[in-house]
Amino acid sequence: MATKRYTKDHEWIRLNGDVGVVGITTYAQSQLGDVVFVELPKVGVRIAKGAEAAVVESVKAASEIYAPAGGEVIAVNDALEAAPATVNEDAEGSGWFFELRLADLKEVEELMSEDAYQHYLETIA
Strands 98-102 and 19-24: antiparallel
Task: Specify the number of domains making up the chain.
Answer: 1
Farthest-apart Cα atoms in the chain, separation: 37
In which domain, by residue range, is 87 found?
A: 3-124
Q: What is the pLDDT of residue 1?
A: 47
Q: What is the pLDDT of residue 2?
A: 63
Euclidean distance between CA atoms 33 and 15, whole angstroms: 27
- pLDDT tens digit sequence for 10-56: 999 999 999 999 999 999 999 999 999 999 999 999 999 999 999 99
**What CATH number is associated with residue 35?**
2.40.50.100
Rounded alpha-carbon distances, angstroms, from residue 60 to 31, 35, 56, 78, 90? 9, 9, 11, 23, 19
- Mean predicted confidence (pLDDT) in 99-125: 95
- pLDDT tens digit sequence for 54-90: 999 999 889 999 999 999 999 999 999 999 999 999 9
Euclidean distance between CA atoms 52 and 69, whole angstroms: 11
